Amino acid sequence: MKFTAQQIADILEGEIIGNPDVEVSKISKIEEGEKGCLTFLSNTKYTSFLYTSNASVAIVNKDFYPEKKITTTLVKVENAYEAFSKILAFYNEVKNNKLGRESPHFISDSAKIGNNEYIGAFSYLGENVILGENVKIYPNVYIGDNTTIGNNCVIFSGVKIYSETIMGNNCKVHSGTIIGGDGFGFAPTSNGEYTAIPQIGNVIIEDNVDIGAACTIDRATMGSTMIRKGVKLDNQIQVAHNVEIGKNTVIASQTGIAGSTKIGENCMIGGQVGFVGHIKVGNNVKILAQAGISKNIKDNEMVNGSPAFKIQDFNKSAVYFRNLPKIAAKINNLEKELKTQKTTS
């Protein structure tokens, strides 16, 4: 897949300095640029690399003027970082613009599939599955009965979506993720064994949700596990039964959310955070990495620690954590002095 400098400039509405016909087929960091590569410069501390780079085309800010001779063709734009992000998105869209149906695959006779679909080899679409327009199903994907997937969704290789799942528009699910598996529900019996509680609910994923690789989102015991509009999940996240994650919340890798916990809107949750079940987290909450959340959190709070508490109190406490050996030594010395005073008196 090749682009000329002129085509890139047209997409970005930029100005060309150099050869408009030079072609690029790869994208690279500026310090690793070679012939045929497109790169960008937005941080001035990397400017020196542009003078030694062999990249064919570089996107730069409009106010950049080279102080030395360069061989790289420049595309000048208002904001090089944003422009490069736009090119990455365009490149990714073109690269992944697969169409048609590969063989072998299985599609139930009752399934309904919109236009411009891509169905990869060894994919399985069950009874009454509904796919919207421009949906891409990569190889080795399983989609269970009565599942609905909206327009412009991408389901990457190896994803398993159990029955009755509902997914909105413009969603992306990365490889190895499992959606709609049974929640962890077991009832203890009188003889000490456990009996599985049937999980008869489903998972609902609203529009514009991105789900990373190797995540697990369990179906509800009853009702629905809810992933609201605009949520972004990193890789390897566990979402248990009947959890609700509010819109535009972002969660980093290896976080685990126990059953029936409700997380609000616009929250930012760091990696390896653990939530107990049946608690409520407010809106606009920030939770630092490796925190343990064992109780409700109000709107707009920032917490850290395990068990977690307000970040201001955590930072104050951290001063004492670091000085515990000194504090202990002082206490020991005071105890010795008291004993000495008692002995002498």
pLDDT per residue as tens, the chain (345 positions): 788 999 999 999 999 999 999 999 988 988 888 999 999 998 888 899 999 989 999 999 999 998 888 889 999 999 999 998 988 888 777 777 889 999 999 999 999 999 999 999 999 999 999 999 999 999 999 999 999 999 999 999 999 999 999 999 999 999 999 999 999 989 999 999 999 999 999 999 999 999 999 999 999 999 999 999 999 999 999 999 999 999 999 999 999 999 999 999 999 999 999 999 999 999 999 999 999 999 999 999 999 987 765 777 777 766 666 777 877 788 888 888 777 777 766
Q: Which residues are catalytic?
A: 241
Tokens describing residue 289? 């990495």
Which pLDDT does position 17 carry in this prediction? 93
CATH code at position 130: 2.160.10.10
Shared domain check, 185 and 85: no
Q: Is residue 327 part of a domain?
A: no
The per-residue DSSP string of 167-209 comes to E-SS-EE-TT-EEEEPP--EEE-TTS-EEEPP---EEEE-TT-
Query: Which residue segment(s) compose the domain that 16 sits in?
Result: 3-95
Query: Is there a domain that residue 335 lies in?
Result: no
Render 96-131 in DSSP notation, one character per residue: T---EE-SS-EE-TT-EE-SS-EE-TT-EE-TT-EE
Domain match, 105 and 161 both: yes
**Is 61 a domain residue?**
yes
Q: How many domains does the chain have?
A: 2
Does residue 318 fall inside a structural domain?
no
Hey, is 340 helix, strand or coil? helix
Are both 158 and 195 inside the same structural domain?
yes
Is residue 322, in this structure, part of any structural domain at all?
A: no
| 185 and 54 in a common domain | no
- Whether residues 81 and 109 share a domain: the answer is no
Distance CA(213)–CA(345), nearest Å, equals 72
* Residue 109 shares a structural domain with residue 258: yes
Provide the pLDDT for residue 170. Answer: 97
Note whether 207 and 71 are same-domain residues: no
Same domain, 39 and 183: no
Same domain, 160 and 302: yes
pLDDT at 326: 79
What's the pTM?
A: 0.79
